[in-house]
Amino acid sequence: MNILLLGSGGREHALAWKIAQSQHVRQLFIAPGNPGTAALGTNVPLNLSDFSAVASFVKQEAIDMVVCGPEQPLVDGLADFLANDTSTCNVAFIGPKREGAQLEGSKDFAKAFMRRHNIPTAAYQTFDGTQAAEAKAYLRTLTPPLVLKADGLCAGKGVLILPTYDEADAALDEMFAGKFGTASAKVVIEEYLQGIELSVFALVDGTGGYVILPEAKDYKRIGEGDTGLNTGGMGSVSPVPFADAAFMQSVEDQIVRPTVNGLVADNIPYKGFVFFGLMNCAGSPKVIEYNCRMGDPETETVMLRLQTDLVSLLKATADGTLSAMQVVSDPRAAACVMLVSGGYPESYAKCYPITGVSQAQEESVVFHAGTAVKDNTLVTAGGRVIAVSSYGSTLSEALQTSLHAADTITFKDAYHRRDIGRDVTC
């Protein structure tokens, strides 16, 4: 098969790494890709918001399957665009159409879906700018901390958790006044869930078939001990020790299967990844959010633990035959540590030379997240720069290896957390 993978981050490098191991691949293209994916296939400088350019490339290179890494093209309707063009409509597309992508693109849509299908989640109500008084009255029925969510996509910044009613009122007014542009024209207010988070991933084939991939836990805050500002993700571990067989059975019975069946019952065509952002509330899983793609940096550990051929799973997703597939997980643990630019997630400098990658690759799998090649030198090109993932017979061992490898990679002002996974291993 000729495969076109869309995206340019560590998640896409990890997907490319796994796809490239498949015997079903004739050619792998990554658009736009990064210096890491260039070693696994051919990078193509496509602008993912230019759907016509994507369609032309698909035709020109006789692409058999498109795999979409990030959410924005899905929410904007790339799958619909290719399905509506007679010359690309038969190409397998991994990722939902616009309607299914609303599971991530609209918090209100996702909450209404969960309510309709009895999927456990926080109690909520949605309000628009004409309902500020009702919204503030609803806040007072909840016990702080108070959770406000912009309805639309906000690059991970649209969730605010406030300690008092007054602060929540002020944040609500700002959101309705356009703090997140049109994304906060509607605001979901929901009950605060106490617990520990994890990420569960499924592939779903649009006919009720699904498989569950290895679960993972990501670390979002910049500082050790989960302190400081939120980031795009500072590391991840898989498996998640508290997600034992009984817990994962509840996740499948109460969340994954009802979601898959709900999509079929609502006539929402969906062939692709579903990311369940879950809270373990005293042993009971509840959905915090859905995403219509894989997680980053969870993919950087999930792909290490997925032993089944990914392209076979993706083909079954497109063909509607996932119920006949089995997922085999590597019994080893995997841990990912993200090296970031000094100053991130606030302002940071770019273009610093990076050394030590090949040495780190002797013990770990190195995924590029924000790198570039300039004058034949690998340089930093983003906030999150390199994800170092390792296997271990235990999580602690995998973490030790990743930390060791991370120390061999150097660039000016590099930073990484040293406590990834410590909360679930100690």
Segment near ligand GLY (CB under 6 A); pick from 84-92, 116-124, 183-191, 295-303: 295-303
Q: Partners of 179 in the beta sheet?
A: none
Give the residue from 2, 33, 92, 52 showing the smallest Cα distance to 369. Answer: 33
Positive or negative CA dihedral for 38, 18, 222, 165?
positive
- Evaluate the CA torsion angle 390, 393, 399, 404 in order and state its sign: negative
Residue matched to tokens 């899983």: 285
Tell me: cis bond preceding 285? Omega within 30 of 0 counts: no
Mask 247-286, x = binds ligand GLY (CB under 6 A)?
A: ----------------------------------------
Q: How far is the CB of 6 from ligand GLY (least distance, A)?
A: 16
Q: Does position 370 bind ligand GLY by CB under 6 A?
A: no
The residue range among 140-148, 181-189, 206-214, 289-297 that interacts with ligand GLY, by the rule CB under 6 A, is 289-297
Q: Does residue number 71 form part of the binding site for ligand GLY (CB under 6 A)?
A: no
Residue nearest to ligand GLY (CB): 295
Q: Does 189 bind ligand AMP (CB under 6 A)?
A: no
Burial of 324 (0-12, 13-18, 19+ CB in 10 A): exposed
Which residues are bridge partners to 203 per DSSP?
Answer: 211, 273
Helix (H) or strand (E) holding 109: helix 107-116
Is residue 289 at the binding interface for ligand AMP, with CB under 6 A as the rule?
A: yes
Q: Which stretch binds ligand AMP (CB under 6 A): 191-199, 308-316, 383-391, 396-404?
A: 191-199
According to DSSP, the residues that pair with 334 across neighbouring strands are 238, 391
Q: How far is the CB of 102 from ligand GLY (least distance, A)?
A: 16
Binder among 28, 103, 168, 193 for ligand AMP (CB under 6 A): 193
Residue 147 near which of ligand AMP, ligand GLY, none (CB within 5-8 Å, type-dependent)? ligand AMP
Token digits of residue 409? 């990679």
Which residue, judged by CB position, is nearest to ligand AMP in the bound state? 289
Decide whether 41 or 233 has the Cβ nearer to ligand GLY: 233
Integer Cα distance of 276 and 255 in angstroms: 8
- Does 218 interact with ligand GLY (rule: CB under 6 A)? yes
Among 233, 235, 258, 383, binds ligand GLY (CB under 6 A): 233
Q: Which stretch binds ligand GLY (CB under 6 A): 190-198, 243-251, 294-302, 312-320?
A: 294-302
How far is the C-alpha of 232 from the C-alpha of 235, rounded, in Å?
Answer: 9
- Residue 281 — φ and ψ, nearest 5°? -95, 95
Structure tokens at 271: 């062939």
Q: Does 104 participate in binding ligand GLY (rule CB under 6 A)?
A: no
For residue 216, which phi and psi values (nearest 5 degrees)?
-150, 170
Q: How far is the CB of 277 from ligand AMP (least distance, A)?
A: 5
Q: Which residues bind ligand GLY (CB under 6 A)?
A: 218, 233, 291, 295-296, 298
